[in-house]
Structure 1
Amino acid sequence: MLKCTVRRSHQLSAESTAKDLQTSCGLQISTTTVCRELHGMGFHG
């Protein structure tokens, strides 16, 4: 789900991505977790 969110709106910050996931999926996810997972998927920046 995270990968789809980032591909849809790749200009969002990690904080905005975490908030988007929380509202769309109801998942409680921290900004640190988003950053860590994105780095693991090969997204850097």
Structure 2
Amino acid sequence: MAEHKHGTMDSKVQEETYAGFITFTTRFTIFLVFLALFLAVFAT
């Protein structure tokens, strides 16, 4: 079995994935807020 040394893992891919997830979630939430406002104003 391979030896593990604490602090040697490259976490760049995980950090980029997390940043992408946060960006997507933020944009999607903003879209949903605008959609709800649009429906509140124009859906009669």
Question: Considering the TM-score relative to the shorter chain, is it more than 0.5?
Answer: no
- Give the number of the structure with larger relative contact order, counting CA–CA contacts within 8 Å between residues 6 or more apart: 1
TM-score by length of 1: 0.29
